[in-house]
Chains A and B, each alone.
Chain A
Amino acid sequence: MSIQGHVFKYGANVDTDVIIPARYLNTSEPAELARHCMEDLDATFIDRVQPGDILVAGANFGCGSSREHAPIAIKASGISCVIAPSFARIFFRNAINMGLPILECAEAAEAIQDGDQVSVDFDTGRIVNLTRNQTYTARPFPPFIRRIIEADGLMGTLRQMQGKGE
């Protein structure tokens, strides 16, 4: 499974309050949450983001609250993958559970610049920067995580298991 898109790049410690401000947490509808995604950090993000685009950021991405609304908003905005040197642990868990691919790769997070065209292969962890003609390698997902992402999240795998009578 692989994706390709334009990069939106932000700094370290992007917190869940800027990913989706609490004033919008009176809904959990993905489309409604996406409308306010990254609003307090980059008000133009939601107008510019295209399906398949990639978010690249500094360390500790997703720090703060446990709100699953954060990965939901990012995913519903069209972002196909987040790359950072490290993720806050609750966000990491929530992103996987929501089927939002996230990759830990310090080298890629540093070298990739805003606007670069990048492709990511989730099976191998290979990240190719088409703009700069560079390649970086993240640790690929283990098979069970890949299954969750392909099933569109943890509950998707549960539905698949029920469908197969497992």
Chain B
Amino acid sequence: MAMTMTQKILAAHAGRDAVEAGELIEARLDLVLGNDVTTPPAIKVFEAAGLKTVFDPERIALVPDHFTPNKDIQSAEHCARMRRFARDKQISHYYEQGEEGMGVEHVVLPENGLVAPGDAIIGADSHTCTYGALGAFATGVGSTDLAYAMATGKTWFRVPEAIRIDLLGQLRPGVTGKDVILHLIGKIGVDGALYQSLEFTGSGVATLSMAERLTICNMAIEAGAKNGLFPVDDKTRDYLAHYAPERVAMNDFTVCTADDDARYARTIAIDLATIRQTVAFPHLPENTREIGSFDPIPVDQVVIGSCTNGRLEDLRLAAHWLKGRKVAKGLRLIILPGSQRVWREALKEGLFEIFTDAGAVISAPTCGPCLGGHMGILAAGERCVSTTNRNFVGRMGHPKSEVYLAGVPVACASAVLGRVAGTDELDA
């Protein structure tokens, strides 16, 4: 029975030799994740069911990141409830504000060595699919599924079929992984991969950095996909050696490759060299346009950060484009490093000086404005270019505000020029 990468990981976790698309299976989980928005309802469910213990305190990660540092009293109560639960159940991977390892969930879990190839992970957050970049099966669920998984270490899945994305060639300078995923979503639509896996393959994979693969998998959900998945190669191994040395030392991971004769719902070939800097217009990630193909659009705010583009590589890229330049008069540039670790490294490398000189404000590691929480909410009529992942109505504030999704280079050029712009338009 020929299988895709996803199917192989699911089969292994269901204790089966093979599974096929459409089958319902119960799978063992290597890691279960919740945040400060989704965990409190899960705790309510957990306690209402009379449950007392979690399946394994080492295999649960609870990350306060959405409305932290606490934005109001109700958020503070939610965080307090999660903190008490974590303490009570002796959850090892709970990361308090300011602590080593804290930050935005999908930035910190891979950085903290909690994700390795072949893992099966669920998280009560739709962007849990990020971890597919490391060759793991990871998908988002709701709070009730989180409660059940925290108690049992298991969940049920319908085995997905896959779309194979053949990446060929190499990206042009100034074009990033974010442009790749926006391009793909523009091509197949926000439900183009509904209930399916997006499995990336081809010679172009080796040219993409781990940060870019994390960005690409992060937005698999924006095409409706259940998960995104990259094969494991030398870059994955280098990343693991750096961030997950213990799992490498214990040989505690499994590399799954798709069978040559695995069946796919369809195959889409993308020549990376043909992708241009891309922007998703309001109010859907599929409304993509290439830079240069639209009239000037003035911008009030630019946000760089989030689980999509808040990694050290993203901040280095931002510094590259902002160095010696100034943010346009009257525009707010908000930079949110994705984790305490990213924050520290960026500080050490002198990136903050470049950002500050450019006129940016640097925030604490938090999801903050991405989901309209705090730290950069938009007023009616305001426009924001953001490196985040969603541009739905009201996503970052007032329902009459607008979000334009883009990669870091476009965000920087837009901040400097005060309009949605590509880096080609910046003075040398």
Contacts and interface: CB of A to CB of B under 8 A. Distances in A.
Interface in B108-160: 123-126, 128, 140-145, 147-148
B142 A64 contact: no
A97 B224 contact: no
Contacts of B57: none
Contacts, number: 119
Contacts of A83: none
A129 interface: no
B11 to A, nearest CB: 20
B48 interface: yes
B282 to A, nearest CB: 12
Interface string A62-96: 01111111000000000000000010111001100
Interface in B351-402: 371-373, 390, 392-395, 399
Contact of A158 (B37, B41, B49, B221): B49
Interface stretch (B72-80, B202-210, B254-262, B265-273): B72-80
Interface stretch (B189-197, B299-307, B333-341): B189-197
A159 B48 CA distance: 9
Interface string A34-47: 00000111000000
A133 interface: no
A64 B40 contact: no
A89 B195 contact: yes
Contacts of B284: 13
Contacts of A22: 37, 371-373, 395
A154 interface: yes
Contacts of B78: 26
Contact of B142 (A13, A25, A40, A68): A68
A28 B41 contact: yes
A94 B142 contact: yes
A161 B142 CA distance: 22
Contacts of B40: 28
Given A18-B393, A41-B393, A65-B371, 7 more contacts: A18-B392, A22-B373, A26-B72, A89-B195, A90-B140, A90-B142, A155-B48
Interface of B: 37-38, 40-41, 44-45, 48-50, 66-67, 71-72, 74-75, 78, 123-126, 128, 140-145, 147-148, 190-191, 194-195, 221, 224, 226, 284, 371-373, 390, 392-395, 399
9 contacts: A22-B395, A27-B74, A28-B143, A41-B393, A90-B142, A93-B141, A94-B141, A98-B144, A154-B144
Interface of A: 13, 15, 17-18, 21-23, 25-28, 39-41, 59-60, 63-69, 86, 88-90, 93-94, 97-98, 153-155, 158-159, 162
